[in-house]
Amino acid sequence: MILRQASTASAFFLALLTLSCRSAGTVDIEVSLPMECSAPSHVAVYLIRGALCGDCECGDCLEFCEGEACTVGCQGDYCSLAEFEAGVELSPDQAGNYAVIYQFVDIDAEGVVTEQAAACIDNLQLDKDGTSNEAHQASALCCEGA
């Protein structure tokens, strides 16, 4: 699965997930980031099998991001905004019902990470053949203290 974004404005990110299977399908996810949130410098992208967005406010569900149930973009770390907009490759090990979680953070000069906002889209049924095409929208929420 490949996750690619194109930024239309500082408040919006467009995510395109391409399933890397036999005949790849796409899942388009437009993520809006409220202007009242502090500006992030980096983004983490998680694909978690069986997770629900209601469990994922501001990173709360990341405890479920273990083993085969979780695929992390950006080589397992944070992407710069430029890297995020250029595309993030995700390759889940198996079909299933997934949630995509976006964690928008600021990393200061000392390396301290402060979560600014989070967005989630769930109930994405990713099949082994990867042939379906879908479009979704997700609105990020500002995290406490952001």
Give per-residue pLDDT as tens, 59-90: 777 777 778 888 888 887 898 988 887 777 77
Contact call for residues 90 and 71 (beta carbons, < 8 A): yes
Residue 16 or 111, more confident:
111
Cβ density class 72-81: b for 16+ within 10 Å, e for less = bbbeeebbeb
Q: Tell me the pLDDT tens digit for each residue of 127-141.
A: 765 555 677 788 888
Contact call for residues 44 and 74 (beta carbons, < 8 A): yes
Q: What percent of the chain stands above pLDDT 90?
A: 12
pLDDT at position 6, please?
Answer: 38
